Amino acid sequence: MLKTGCLILLAVIVAPVYSAAPQVRVLIGKSLKHVVVEGMDLQKTIHTQNKYQQYNGRKTISFNCLPPRSRGKVSMLKDPLLVASLSSPTGLVSWGAQKYQGELQLLASPGQQSCDLVNSTSMESYITTLLAKEMNGTWPVEALKAQAVAARTYAYDRLKAHSKLYHLESSERDQVSGTFADITEKTLKAARETDGEILVGPSGRVAPAFFHSKCGGKTLRPDQVWGGVEEGYRSVNCPFCQKTGMKNWEHRIVGGKLNQMIDKVLKRYYSDTISQGEMRLMPDSLKNSELRLYVGDRLHIIKKSYLRNLTGREILPSNNFMVSVKQNDFHVKGYGYGHGVGLCQLGALELAKRGYNYRQILSFYFPRHKMKKVY
């Protein structure tokens, strides 16, 4: 097994097979004061000085982000600036203890006394490392393949988004990507066997494919969570994630604290503020994506997802919850983990265990979408 694994990983380094895949630029480090990059036969380009240099053997290069002599110029920037890029003929460059495929790029941002770090790599290399972070590198290949298509779709859509110098963040804002060490035989297989495949809406338009850990019994549409409408999404009943992952959860919120939470939501999302008087909650259920409550004689209707956005996952781990009143306090009971839109990862795991292939899994969670090979 060790020899086989080594041969597979070596193939990634010296013989990339994804020549048609687009390059994706991923923000992997933010607001850094110092950056230390290491690699074999490093090739360094300082774009601000139009200088190129190649080193023989193993080399370590340190960058002091925005030294004093550069701060005046950087503070006048209107857009992010590509300062330097580093690559290696081996295909791997190290930052800290982690090895990255492709090129590392150093950015200066307007008015910042620091720099950002971007990994520019092929889409398929990106997917092979991401699968172990956003799902689990040991899960059945068909579940990983479903995740690969969803993540690739999201990333492909983002090729036109964010700044000109990067497309995605390696964070929960977008998707959490991994490093070379996160590649497994299964993640490599999942990426290769879905090479270039994405999901498109009924009209054929590319749109982001969302995913989450556990829906808790029913997925949600994007408009129910974020307010924006994305083509082709439907809410589907999902009984497959019930016995795995995070159990059902409950919390108690004292009346005064909920008033404060509601007030923050109204100010942030509705340009409103809470009225004076006693709070009275209208009957709620898991089917409702909104809370209806009276404060005094005034009715407030707020999205549950907005409440979760401001309170965080510790109190509201998912958007699938209901609120009731108990002894003058509020009782929250919920199911699942994550925003609940699109692919339910634990549901996909169970379906793969039952013998469903990745196309069947995707058609269940994205019933109106179609598969398309874009390269």
pLDDT truncated to tens, each residue of the chain (375 aa)? 333 333 333 333 333 444 589 999 999 999 999 999 999 999 999 998 999 999 999 999 999 986 555 444 545 566 779 999 999 999 999 999 999 999 999 999 777 788 999 999 999 999 999 999 999 999 999 999 999 999 999 999 999 876 678 999 999 999 999 999 999 999 999 999 999 999 999 999 998 999 999 999 999 999 999 988 899 999 999 999 988 888 889 988 887 788 888 889 999 999 998 877 778 889 999 889 899 989 888 899 999 999 998 888 888 999 999 999 887 788 999 999 999 999 999 999 999 999 999 999 999 999 999 999 999
Helix (H) or strand (E) run with residue 250 in it: strand 249-253
Q: What is the 3-state secondary structure (H, E, C) of 180-234?
A: HHHCCHHHHHHHHCCCCEEEECCCCCECCCCEECECCCECECHHHHCCCCCCCCC
DSSP alpha helix (H) spans, 53-117: 68-75
Q: Which residues of 22-35 are buried (b: 16+ CB within 10 A; e: fewer)?
A: bebbbbbbeebeeb
**Cβ proximity of 324 and 284 under 8 Å:** yes
Residue 20: the pLDDT is 86
For helices 185-192 and 2-14, what crossing angle results, to 10°?
A: 50
**Cβ proximity of 103 and 122 under 8 Å:** no
Residue 220: the pLDDT is 94
DSSP letter at 318 equals: B
Pairing of strands 43-46, 168-169: unpaired
Which residue matches tokens 């942030």?
268
Domain spans of the chain, in order of start: 24-121, 249-334
Nearest to 231, CA basis, from 193, 265, 273, 200: 200
In one-letter notation, the amino acid at residue 280 is: R
Helix (H) or strand (E) run with residue 276 in it: none
pTM (two decimals): 0.87
- CA dihedral 349→351→352→358, nearest 10 degrees, is -100
Q: Give the C-alpha separation, 91 to 16, whole Å.
A: 9
DSSP letter at 174 equals: S
Q: Give the C-alpha separation, 216 to 249, whole Å.
A: 10
Q: Give the C-alpha separation, 348 to 209, whole Å.
A: 15
Helix (H) or strand (E) run with residue 100 in it: strand 98-101
How confident is the model over 274-309, as pLDDT tens digits? 877 778 889 999 889 899 989 888 899 999 999 998
Nearest to 4, CA basis, from 185, 192, 141: 185
Number of residues assigned to the chain:
375
Query: How many angstroms separate the Cα of 351 from the Cα of each of 19, 53, 233, 241, 345?
Result: 32, 52, 20, 9, 10
Residue 162: the pLDDT is 61
Q: Residue 150: CA atoms inside 13 Å, Cβ hemisphere, count? A: 30
In one-letter notation, the amino acid at residue 148 is: A
Residue 82: the pLDDT is 94
